[in-house]
Each structure stands twice: as C-alpha cells, then as structure tokens.
Amino acid sequence: MLVLGIESSCDETAVAILSQNKNILSNIVSSQVSLHQQYGGVVPEVAARAHLKLMAVTLEQALNIAQIKLTDVSAIAGVIGPGLYGSLLIGSTTAKTLALALNKPFIAVNHLEAHILTPRLLYNIEFPYLALLISGGHTMFVAVEHINKYQILGTTIDDALGEAYDKTARLLGYPYPGGKHIEALSNQGEPGLFKFKSPLYNKHGCNFSFSGLKTAVAQQIHQLASTNSLLENAPHIAKAFEETILITLSHKTQVAIQQFTQQYGKLNNFIVSGGVAANLNIRNCLQKLIVSQKANFYAPSAEYCGDNAAMVAWAGLEKLTLGFSSNLNTPVKPNLRIEDNININDNNQEL
Ligand code: KG4
Ligand code: ZN
C-alpha cells in the first residue's frame, strides 16, 4: 500500500509518498520562503498563488523520485486545517480531486496531528504519550491517547513560540523565518549579560505566553540601538532570549508531565515536534529533563520538524489502517482544532 500525502497549509508546497512499511519513497518540499522574505512574513494571497503554481510540479517530482505512477497510489491524505484558507484550499482540493479521479480513499488530516504523530513514523512509540508541539503558528502540550484522541493540556494564550523567534530575529535584522538565525546568534552570546522574565512561570498550569517577552526584548533592542551598542550586544540578547525560552519550556514541561501522569499514569514517552523543535539547544535541554524523569525522549530529525508531507502521509496511513477515511465534501477549516472530528469510519459514520 502506498499513501500520497499533500501539505499546503502555510508557505510550503509539499508532496510525499509513503509505503505501508514506513518507507518514505519521496518527500518533496517546495519552499516559498524567498517569495515572502521581502514582506517579513507570509502573505496569504501570495502563498495561495504560489501553491497553485507549485502543486503540479511538486506532485510530479514526488512521483518521479518514488519511481511510481499515480495509479500505484492506494490512498490520498491531505491537510484541511488549520492554516491559511487559500493555501489549504489548493492542497486539499488537489488531494480530493486525485482521490475522486483514481477512485481511492481520501483521508483528511489535521496539520497539528500530523506534526505530533511524525515521531511514530520515525521511531516505535506506543500510546499514550506526551507531545510538545512548537511551531510558527502553534505552541501546545497534547496528551496523545490514540489516533483521533488528543487532549490539549496547555497552549499559548497569545503568540506561538516560532512567532516570538521570528519577531526577535526581525528586530535584530534577520530575514524571515528567523528561528535558526537566533539559535546561531545565541550560540555566540555570553550568558547572564541580559535577563528577561520567564512568562507565566508560576501561573496558568502549562499554558504559555510569549507576547510580554517579545515586548521586553523589543524595548531592550531599541534602547541598545539608541546608544549605538546593538551590534556588539545582539548575540547576548539572543542568548538571554533563548535562556528565557529554555527556562520556560523546562518548567512548563514539568507541569505538563504532572498533569499527564495524573490522568494516564507514569510518563514513558515524550516527543517534541514542529519547526522550532529543529533547535538543538531546545532539544538538548528537553532531552536532559525527560531522561532525568526516566522517560524516553524523541524528536524528529530537522527535515521532519518543519512542514513536510511525509508527516501527512503518515497520519493518513495511521488512520487508514484503523479504518478511518473522510468524505470528499469535508471542508477546509482554517481554525480547525486538534480535537475536531474530520474522519468517518468503515461504515461511513462520522466519529
Ligand atoms: O512547523 P513549521 O515549519 O511551520 C508551522 O507550522 O508554523 O515552523 C516554522 C517555525 C518558524 O517560526 C521558524 O522560525 C521556526 O519554526 N524555526 C526555528 C528553528 N528552525 C525553524 N526556531 C528556532 N530555532 C530553529 N533552529
Ligand atoms: Zn507546521
């Protein structure tokens, strides 16, 4: 069985082909980053038009690299949300059209569930597990009970972590997306020269808030710029910003583990995923914490942290194996929540 996955929720046009035995035959990501860089962030209309232009060539490339024909595909998985409306429309319509034309099942996939199920594609991880999803649009702890059974334990009340990285990078003069630049800069910085408060440290369980930190960093940067001392201090600012993030993530992860344990018993497996999970400082810090709690730590390799279609094909395969698929009239939902039902079972019943 071969599952074709399509992802187009934001600014990556991605197509992947995955076999039943977890062999990733192809995983093509056509990035639009250079198109959006001049605006400092993703412009929805520009993204939708670019998806339209890139979708067919990306699909063709994925088939060529996998050395298969479209008719060899057994099912098509496509992301229907959350994300940008126009962008989602291109990928999900492509997936549904292929399913209709090939007379094969269509499996609607939630972008967030694809991120948090990815580690199961790369490692053998049993349910239930605790997932920390950190990306450009989302920051949340999810108890992953089973496929289609997810419970949010905590989330951000304002900005996503990737957004905080991108905004800090922009203030320091780096292009979008700025996360990796801040990581590199922070590695050159000296610890302790600047200090920012860890947001919501002892409040609101394992929920996050990053907008206050963003403002504090912005004020510090403006103050340094006004005295012409920003350039030499930029690495130290990045260091202080990242140290605050590490303190916050460590503390909130401990709170989330307590919450998880109360409901599901001892934590055996912890995963971190999403674009920001490519950050080695964050991975190392969380790994130390999780190992000290006698649990297993998993993080996808960098190419599977950011948006890709292998994660969509995998979520589709997981669902299909359990008898779940979706109606072709399943609409695009820009605000889709991870708890929302988007699948039907073998008997064509909504779940
Ligand atoms: O998962 P993703 O590709 O897209 C969304 O679903 O949002 O995540 C993109 C985010 C961007 O904010 C980017 O700056 C951040 O991931 N990112 C990083 C790193 N690499 C990517 N943030 C911090 N450190 C990194 N090394
Ligand atoms: Zn994502």
Please write the tens of the pLDDT for every residue from 294-344: 999 999 999 999 999 999 999 999 999 999 999 999 999 999 999 999 999
* Closest atom of ligand 1 relative to the 9 alpha carbon: 6
Q: How far is CA 214 from the centre of its chain?
A: 21
Number of the ligand closest to the Cα of 32: 1
Residue nearest to ligand 1 atom 16, measured at CA: 275
Helix (DSSP H) and strand (DSSP E) numbers for the chain: 11, 10
Q: Tell me: cis bond preceding 199? Omega within 30 of 0 counts.
A: no
pLDDT over 80 (residue 287): yes
User: Using an 8 Å Cβ cutoff, are 68 and 17 in contact?
Assistant: yes
Distance 191 CA to ligand 2 centre (A): 30
What pTM does this model have? 0.96
Mean pLDDT throughout 141-162? 97
| pLDDT at site 202 | 85
Q: Which amino acid, one-letter code, is at 220?
A: Q
Distance 275 CA to ligand 1 centre (A): 3
pLDDT over 80 (residue 350): no
Distance 178 CA to ligand 1 centre (A): 8
User: Using an 8 Å Cβ cutoff, are 103 and 255 in contact?
Assistant: no
CB under 8 Å to 183, separation ≥6 — which residues?
242, 279, 280, 281
User: Using an 8 Å Cβ cutoff, are 313 and 16 in contact?
Assistant: yes
Distance 224 CA to ligand 2 centre (A): 34
Residues in the chain: 351
| pLDDT at site 201 | 83
Q: How far apart are CA 106 and CA 327, in angstroms?
A: 7
Mean pLDDT, the chain, rounded, equals 96
- pLDDT exceeding 70 applies to what percent of the chain? 100
Q: Find out whether the beta carbon of 274 lies less than 6 Å from any atom of ligand 1.
A: yes
CB under 8 Å to 210, separation ≥6 — which residues?
139, 156, 158, 159, 160, 161, 163, 164, 199
Q: What's phi and psi for 3, nearest 5 deg?
A: -110, 130
Q: Find out whether the beta carbon of 128 lies less than 6 Å from any atom of ligand 1.
A: no
Give per-residue pLDDT as tens, 94-133.
Answer: 999 999 999 999 999 999 999 999 999 999 999 999 999 9
Measured CA distances, 129 to 13, 141, 269 (Å): 29, 10, 5
Distance 240 CA to ligand 1 centre (A): 19
Q: Find out whether the beta carbon of 83 lies less than 6 Å from any atom of ligand 1.
A: no
| pLDDT at site 347 | 75
Residue nearest to ligand 1 atom 2, measured at CA: 275
Give per-residue pLDDT as tens, 9-45.
Answer: 999 999 999 999 999 999 999 988 889 988 988 999 9
pLDDT over 90 (residue 161): yes
Residue nearest to ligand 1 atom 7, measured at CA: 136
pLDDT over 90 (residue 200): no
Q: How far apart are CA 250 and CA 224, in angstroms?
A: 29
Burial 147-173 (b: 16+ CB within 10 A, else e): bbebbbbbbbeebbbbbbbbbbbbbbe
